[in-house]
A and B are shown apart, each in its own frame.
Chain A
Amino acid sequence: MPMKQKNSTKILVTAALLVVSLICIFPIFFCIFTSFKESTEIIKEITFFPKKWSSVNYDYVFARGAKYLKYYLNTIIITLSSVLITMILSALSGYAFARLPFKGSSTLLGTVLFILAFPLAAILIPIYMMEYDLKLLNTYIGIILPNLLCILPFSIFIMRGAFIDMPKELEDSAEIDGCTVPQTWWYIMLPLARNALVIVLVSGFYNVWGEYTIAKTLATKDAIMPISVALTLLKSEDWNYGVLAAAITLSIIPPIVVFSIFQDKLVEGMSAGAVKG
Chain B
Amino acid sequence: MQETISSRRKARERWGRLFLLPTCVILFVFVIYPIGYTLVLSLCDYNFAFDYHMKFAGFGNFVKMFRDPVYLTSLANTMFFTLVMFIFLVVFSLSLALLLFYKKKHSWFFRTAIFVPIVVPASLICILFSFMLADNFGIINKFLMSIGLSSWTHNWLTDATSAKWWVMIVSVWGKMGFCTILFLSGLQNIPSDLFEAAEIDGAVGWKKLIYVIIPNLAETFVVVGIWAILQCLKLFVTPNVLTKGGPANATKVLYQYIYDTAFQNFDMGYASAQAIILTVLVMIFSFLNMKIGKKEGE
Interface residues of chain A, those whose CB is within 8 Å of chain B, are: 9-10, 13-14, 16-18, 20-22, 24-25, 27-28, 30-31, 34, 42-44, 46, 89, 92-93, 95-97, 99-103, 105, 108, 111-130, 132, 145-146, 148-149, 152, 156, 175, 181-182, 185, 206, 209-210, 212-213, 216-217, 227-229, 231-232, 235, 241, 244-245, 248, 251-252, 255-256, 258-260, 263, 267-268, 270-271, 274-277
Q: Is B30 an interface residue (CB 8 A)?
A: yes
Query: What B residues does A28 contact at CB under 8 A?
Result: 116, 120
| Interface pick from B55-63, B81-89, B100-108 | B100-108
Is the beta-carbon distance between A31 and B128 smaller than 8 angstroms?
A: yes
Query: What A residues does B254 contact at CB under 8 A?
Result: 121
* In the complex, residue of chain A having the shortest beta-carbon distance to the beta carbon of B24: A108
Interface string of B38-73 (1 = CB under 8 A from A): 100100000010000000000000000000000000
C-alpha gap A271/B177 in the complex (Å): 12
Partner among B27, B219, B258, B290 whose Cβ is within 8 Å of the Cβ of A121: B258
List, sorted by A's number, 12 A–B pairs whose CB atoms are closer than 8 Å.
A21-B113, A120-B234, A121-B236, A123-B31, A148-B26, A181-B11, A248-B124, A252-B120, A263-B111, A263-B115, A267-B115, A270-B181
* In the complex, residue of chain B having the shortest beta-carbon distance to the beta carbon of A268: B185
| Number of residues of chain B lying within 8 A (CB) of chain A | 100
Query: What A residues does B185 contact at CB under 8 A?
Result: 267-268, 271, 275
Interface string of B102-131 (1 = CB under 8 A from A): 110001011111111111111111111111
A-B pairs, 9 with minimum CB distance: A210-B121, A100-B16, A21-B113, A117-B286, A271-B185, A126-B37, A96-B19, A126-B34, A123-B34
| Interface pick from B150-158, B190-198, B268-276 | B268-276
Query: What A residues does B268 contact at CB under 8 A?
Result: 125, 129
Is the beta-carbon distance between A145 and B128 smaller than 8 angstroms?
A: no
Is the beta-carbon distance between B99 and A100 smaller than 8 angstroms?
A: no
C-alpha gap A121/B12 in the complex (Å): 38
Q: Say yes or no: A10-B103 contact (C-beta < 8 A), given A18-B110, A232-B241.
A: yes
Q: Is B2 an interface residue (CB 8 A)?
A: no
List 6 other contacts, CB 8 Å, given A108-B20, A121-B274.
Answer: A17-B99, A30-B139, A121-B275, A149-B30, A181-B11, A245-B131
Is the beta-carbon distance between A121 and B278 smaller than 8 angstroms?
A: yes
C-alpha gap A95/B18 in the complex (Å): 11
Is the beta-carbon distance between A100 and B13 smaller than 8 angstroms?
A: yes
Query: What A residues does B146 contact at CB under 8 A?
Result: 46
Query: What B residues does A274 contact at CB under 8 A?
Result: 178, 182, 223, 227
Partner among A27, A120, A244, A270 whose Cβ is within 8 Å of the Cβ of B129: A27
C-alpha gap A101/B227 in the complex (Å): 30
Is the beta-carbon distance between A275 and B124 smaller than 8 angstroms?
A: no
C-alpha gap A267/B185 in the complex (Å): 9
Query: What A residues does B275 contact at CB under 8 A?
Result: 119, 121-122, 125
Give the distance to chain B from A116, nearest Cβ to Cβ, in Å. 8
Is the beta-carbon distance between B30 and A127 smaller than 8 angstroms?
A: yes
C-alpha gap A102/B11 in the complex (Å): 10
* In the complex, residue of chain A having the shortest beta-carbon distance to the beta carbon of B98: A13
Query: What B residues does A126 contact at CB under 8 A?
Result: 33-35, 37-38, 41
Give the distance to chain A from B127, nearest Cβ to Cβ, in Å. 6
Q: Say yes or no: A30-B128 contact (C-beta < 8 A), given A255-B119, A260-B112.
A: yes
Q: Say yes or no: A21-B109 contact (C-beta < 8 A), given A181-B11, A271-B185, A275-B223.
A: yes
Partner among A21, A102, A112, A276 whose Cβ is within 8 Å of the Cβ of B13: A102
Is the beta-carbon distance between A210 and B120 smaller than 8 angstroms?
A: yes
Query: What B residues does A31 contact at CB under 8 A?
Result: 128
Query: What B residues does A25 contact at CB under 8 A?
Result: 113, 116
Q: Say yes or no: A152-B23 contact (C-beta < 8 A), given A119-B234, A228-B121, A271-B185.
A: yes
Partner among B24, B102, B127, B282 whose Cβ is within 8 Å of the Cβ of A119: B282
